[in-house]
Amino acid sequence: EDVLNKMSRVFLERDNLLSSQGPITLFYWVIRNVQRHRIRQVREFLVEFERIRRSNRELAKVNPQKADSAILLYDSQNRSVDDQLSLERRYEFLMHNFASFLNRTRKVAAN
Are 86 and 77 spatial neighbours (Cβ–Cβ below 8 Å)?
Answer: yes
- pLDDT at 106 (0 to 100): 79
Q: For residue 111, what pLDDT is reported? A: 59
**Surface-to-core class of residue 66, CB atoms within 10 Å of its CB (0-12 exposed, 13-18 middle, 19+ buried):** exposed
Give the domain extent around 100. 3-110
Which pTM value belongs to this model?
0.89
10-residue mean pLDDT series, the chain (111 residues) = 92 93 91 94 97 97 97 91 88 97 82 59
| Domain total of the chain | 1
